Amino acid sequence: MNRPPRRSGLTPEQERQRAEWARYAAEEQARRQAAAAARQRAAAERARREEAERRARRAEARRLFWNRFVLYLIMLGLIFAIGGGIFFFSLHRTERRPHPQEVTYLFGGEWTADGKTVVEPQAEMTLNYAEAVHAGVQYCSMTALADLVDLSITGTQETQKFSCPSGEYVRLTVGSASAEVNGDWLTMDGAVLLRGSGDTEALWVPLSFVRDWMQGVLVTLEADRVHLALDAAEPLGFLLKGSPTALAVDEKAEFGDTPAIPFKADLSAYEQYMNPADRDAYLTLINLDNKLDGTYIPSDLTKIADTRKDGRATQQMREYAARALEAFFIEMRACGVTDVSVTSAYRSFSYQTQLFEQRVAMYPSLPRAEAEAKAATVVAVPGSSEHQSGLCVDMHNLPSADIAFGNTAAFRWMSANAHKFGFILRYPADKTEITGISYEPWHYRYVGRYHATRIYESGLCLEEYVAQYRASAHN
C-alpha cells in the first residue's frame, strides 16, 4: 500500500517516538510542578508550625514570668510581715520596759528618805541614759560626790585615793573594777571610768559601790533621777562587808624614806620618776584574777627612747615608767651594758587579743579550751596582760625573747639593779606556779623604787608581795 509522505518527512516510527517523547516531557513537567507545589506547601506548613511554636514559647515565658512575679510578691509580703512583726514586737517590748532618755543626778538638796529630812546645798547634772548606765550598770560621779561630802582626793589621774576626814579611804584605778577600801580589796559591778577633761574631769564608779560601801551618804535611785546626799545621821566613811572598819594607814609614819642610791650617771632629774611620791600608785596587780577592762587605755603614754631600731614602732609606757626606764638605760650604758634595747612595752587590748589568738592557732589538734590553756602559759590572756597597763617592758639583746637571755651578763646586771629604777623582774623562774606565767628574764614591771626594793629584797613575786602588803596595811 502506498502511504502519502508525512509533512514532517518522518517515518511513522519516528513520529510515534516523537509523540512519546512529547508525552513524556509533558508528564515530567507536570511532575516537577507538582513537586514544587508540594515543597511550597511543606515550607508554608513548617513556617506555620514554627510561628505556632514561637507563640507557644512566648506564652510559656510570660506564664513563667508572672508565676515568678507572684512568687516574689508573696515572698516580699512575707518579709514585710515578719519584719513588721519584729518591729512592732520590739516597740511593744520597749513600751513594756521603758528607760528614760536622760538621767538627772541631784547632789544634796532638801529631801526626805526613811522619814529623815536632809538639807544640803544642791548641785545637779543631767546625762544621757547611755552615759549614766554603762554596760547595764548605773554609774555616778565619784568626783562630784567627793565635792559634796568633802572627801580629799590624792594620787594621779589613773589612780585616785578618796579620803574621809576620819582617814578611811577608797583607792580607785581607771579601767579597773577592783577598789581598795581601807587596805582591803573588793570588786565593783563595773570598771572605774574617766570622763571629761580639765575642770570637768571626773571618775565615775558604779552607783552600787557608793550605796553599798559608803557610810553617811544617802542614795535614792529612781528611773530618771539619782539623788545623793550627806546623811547627817551617820558619820562619813567607807565600809567593808563582814569586817570592821579599818583605820587608815599613815604610810609616812610607818615606813621610812628610801635612802639615796649612788649612780655612775647623774640621774637626779629622774629621781622623782624612779621613786614616785605617790608610792602605791603603780602597785596595781594585773593577772588572770585581776584583769584590766578591755576599754582601758593609759592616758599618759610616753615614747621610749631606747626602742630597738629595727623598723618597729616606737614603744610606749606610762609617763613615770618611761622616764624611770630612761634612767635605767643611761645607768646601764654607763656600767658597760650597751646592747640591750626595748622590744615591746604598751600593747592595746586588741593587739594582745591578736597575739593570744595567734598562739591558740599553734595548737590546731587540741580542743579550743585546751589550746587556750596552753597558749595562756606563754601569752597573757587579753585583759590579764601587764602590757595593757603601760607599766611593763620587754628588753633584751637577743634577736627574739628567749630564756637564754637569763644567762647573759646583761641580764645579770639588769636583774641586780632594776629595783633601783623602780622595776622588778616580774616573772621569775621560781614563781611560775604563782604568777601563772613561765620564766621571762626580759620582762620588767615598773612599781616605783619603794616597792621594787622590797620585792627585790624579799624575793617575793608581785602576787605574794601585794597580798602581804595589803595584809600589813590592814593591821
Residues with a catalytic annotation lie at 440
Q: Could you say which residues in the range 39-68 bind Zn ion, by CB under 5 A?
A: none
Residue list 206-265, contact with Zn ion (CB under 5 A): none
Q: Considering the complex, what minimum distance in angstroms separates the CB of residue 403 from Zn ion? A: 13
Separation in Å, CA 37 to CA 41, 49, 51, 330: 6, 18, 21, 114
Closest among 352, 344, 399 to 375, alpha carbons compared = 352
Nearest to 295 by CA among 192, 208, 209, 180: 192
Is 289 in a helix, a strand, or coil? coil
Name the residue with the smallest CB distance to Zn ion. Answer: 443
Nearer to Zn ion, 188 or 355 (CB): 355
Conformational region of residue 289, where left means phi above 0, alpha means psi within -120 to 50, and beta covers everything else:
alpha
Backbone torsion region of residue 118, taken as left when φ is above 0, otherwise alpha when ψ lies between -120 and 50, otherwise beta: beta
Task: Print the binding letters for residues 155-194 with Zn ion: x by CB under 5 A, - otherwise.
Answer: ----------------------------------------
CB atoms < 10 A from the CB of 266, how many?
11
Residues composing the chain: 475
Residue 189 or 394: which CB sits closer to Zn ion? 394
The residue with cell 532618755 is 101
Measured between alpha carbons, how far is 386 from 463 in angstroms, rounded to an integer? Answer: 13
Grid cell, residue 262, equals 649612788
Q: Give the number of C-alpha atoms closer than 13 A to the C-alpha of residue 307, restricted to the C-beta side.
A: 17
Nearer to Zn ion, 192 or 395 (CB): 395
The contact pattern for Zn ion, residues 88-127, with x = CB under 5 A and - = no contact, is ----------------------------------------
CA nearest to 287, candidates 372, 387, 160: 387
CB-based burial label for 239 (10 Å; 0-12, 13-18, 19+): middle
Residues 6+ apart with CB under 8 A from 124: 104, 105, 106, 107
Which residue, 227 or 396, is less far from Zn ion as judged by CB?
396
**Which residue number, 212 or 394, has a Cβ lying nearer to Zn ion?**
394
Q: How far is the CB of 332 from Zn ion (least distance, A)?
A: 18
Q: Which is nearer to Zn ion, 302 or 344 (CB)?
A: 344
Give yes or no for a contact between 148 and 107, defined as CB atoms under 8 angstroms apart.
yes
Shortest distance (Å) from residue 443 CB to Zn ion = 4
Decide whether 131 or 394 has the Cβ nearer to Zn ion. Answer: 394
Q: Which is nearer to Zn ion, 315 or 453 (CB)?
A: 315
Smallest gap from Cβ 395 to Zn ion, in A, equals 9
Q: How many residues bind Zn ion (CB under 5 A)?
A: 2
Cβ within 8 Å of residue 121, ≥6 positions away: 108, 109
Residue 394 or 464: the one with the smaller Cβ distance to Zn ion is: 394
Radius of gyration of the chain (CA): 45
CB of 87 to Zn ion, least distance (A): 50
- Which residue stretch of 212-220, 224-232, 261-269, 442-450 sits at the interface with Zn ion (rule: CB under 5 A)? 442-450
118 with 111: CB under 8 angstroms? yes
Contact segment (CB under 5 A) with Zn ion among 265-273, 428-436, 440-448, 453-461 equals 440-448
Using CB under 5 A, which of the segments 58-66, 140-148, 232-240, 437-445 binds Zn ion? 437-445
Least distance (Å) between residue 442 CB and Zn ion: 7
Residue 370 contacts residue 344 (beta carbons within 8 Å):
no
Q: Which listed range, 137-145, 149-157, 208-216, 394-402, lies at the site for Zn ion (CB under 5 A)?
A: 394-402
User: Candidates 10-18, 25-33, 103-111, 443-451 — which segment interacts with Zn ion by CB under 5 A?
Assistant: 443-451
| Separation of alpha carbons 186 and 471, rounded Å | 14
Q: Least distance (Å) from Zn ion to the CB of residue 415?
A: 15
Q: From the CB of 142, what's the least distance to Zn ion, in Å?
A: 32
Q: How far is the CB of 387 from Zn ion (least distance, A)?
A: 6
How many DSSP H helices and E strands does the chain contain?
13, 23
Check: CB of residue 185 under 8 Å from CB of residue 207.
no
Say if residues 375 and 323 touch (Cβ distance below 8 Å).
no
> Binding to Zn ion by residue 394, rule CB under 5 A?
yes
Q: In terms of Cα–Cα distance, which of 154, 267, 275, 130 is closest to 203?
A: 154
- Residues of this chain that interact with Zn ion (CB under 5 A) are 394, 443
